[in-house]
Structure 1
Amino acid sequence: MKRNLFFIFLAAFLLLTACSETGEQNASTTKKDNKEEEQSSNQEITYLGEKYEIPTKVETIVTASQEAMEDAAILGIKPAGAIATAGEFPAYLGDSMSEAEQIGEKTQPSVEKLLQIKPDVILGTSKFQPEVAESLNKVAPMIPVSHISTNWKDNLLLLGQLSNETEKAESIIADYDKNVAETKENLQAKLSGKKVVMLRLRGGSLYIYPETVYFNPVLYTDLGLDVPDEVKAAKAQEMISLEKLAEMNPDYLFIQFEESENAESPTALADLESNSIWKSLDAVKNNQVYENVVDPMAAGGTAWSKTTFLTAFAELFK
């Protein structure tokens, strides 16, 4: 009898052990399948040498930088959310932001608002502080779109890839390069040896930029115009006095003036134009000063900004 009970208990024990192992195997298999399914729903993309993991199917894009907003505008893409300035989207972008919800200011977008939108990807900016980037990455993959003008092609191709508009992005780049070559050929004789300068009037003061910043790459890199020594020496946006500008004495001047950037000096442009030093400049005396040929709020180093500026530039000097 005892012998029979022993075999009965042994059989029961073996049966329970087998069931337990099967359950563990099933749980392990399920966990593995879930992990593989999660991985298969993502893709890895490379942007400026860095890899980012994003959903395989990107449907909801938020543009949390001006660069990304301008790229969206030229590609005809309407993001689900975008940064605003003083509670408004830039008027020069037309209706490209018509479907976007405001997500706050450019330095620190609202995490709460982003959680409501539920983006697949956030196109931020390389200017974000580390803590801002970290908080946005908790909402969705955040790609820090470069604010450096010379990365404009990579920026445009990034959004083209995310929105299945790569062909359109490549076409925009090709058209720009073609127009640059034509403009350069047409204006080579006229502008050879001439000093062309882009200025920005902000807070009542004049600023110049390095040759690879703002609209300057169009002038000096793309069109190959001579780079003034003062522009070469600039390390960032730098204030320039009227006296120093008079020493430069440009042949052609482009000046960008936005009222909101001069709120405390609303008459800054008029005051500048009435100044005797300003009037002494060759560009002024020869009527070669061009104000706001592109919207003064434009970023300068994007496909939208460069294309618009090049078109205006070519038209002025044709």
Structure 2
Amino acid sequence: MALPADTGPAMPMNIVHGTHAELILFLVLNMWPSHFGLPILLAIVLLSKRVQRHPTFVNLLIVFMVVGISSSLLVYAGNASGPEPSPALCLAQAALLYGMPGITSVAVFALVFQVALGPYFRILLTQKFQMFIVIRAAFYKQPSRDTHFVRIWVMIIAPYAVWIVFIVVTVFVGVGEPANVSRDRRFFYCSVKSDALTGTLTIFAAVVLLATLILEAWTIVLFYKRWVSIARGSSGMFTAAELNLPLLILAFGMYLLVAMSLSLLSMKSPESPIPDLIIASAATVVILIFGTQLDILRAICFWRKEVSIGDTSNDSTNDSEVYKRTTY
């Protein structure tokens, strides 16, 4: 006698094999930076007169806060483990996180782009190019800062625009195939089973990451040339101390390129939980790299004199003046 056919929707099988300890680690890596570390760092950057950072850096901090909060939605609802969360909640988290590769890759690209075309753009300008910029600004009867202002706003808004597009697309796909929306597939968070959607996410983020890698390589070459000129005692616009922040930005960019590449690879063939844990650690790396700089530490230890945190040189230029001058 034949068994009756199962007419119910088939739930997606678990393809990421994680343990409860790894789930706790994933949640901690997302929650402590987004709920504690990054807000403190952001407050210091925005409120301290000693700290100067470019808006694209501030935007990057906000982006990682958004990603961490999105990854914690199931914790808020008490559905991080156990029975499947409600379809609406699961689709909401999946949509937010499927926009994560887009928003983070574009935000990092904007920051690296600013490094590449910031002070080093001025280094590369010859007197003829400088004269061209002045003449062009005079011809159009507008200051050159107008273009700079528009560029900043484009770099700030672009990550969120990309994020919203992928959120809408994911919601559309998930509503059309509700049986393919579950927490079970990805173990750590809700996802939507759709090869076309994950393929689009992968291609888009890969293109942005490739562009970022090209900018990284180009800027590293410029850094090397500048570092050689400093080592030879050549006079110039920047000193070794002023290369500190852009070098840290490039180092973090390289780290995130590796982490995002693993994350995108895990979308296509997800089995190990390691890629998700690595990308979850990105916000912690942001805090460790950028939250331990001298001007940040000086702002935290506001009751101490500046020289007590390591600057014993005779150069009276402090970090905030350096960053203000280099416009990062």
Shared fold per TM-score greater than 0.5:
no
Higher helix share: 2
Higher strand share: 1
Higher relative contact order by CA 8 Å / sep ≥ 6: 1 or 2? 2
Query: TM-score, normalised on structure 2?
Result: 0.30
Give the TM-score, by structure 1 length: 0.31
When Rg is computed on C-alpha atoms for both structures, the one with the higher figure is 1
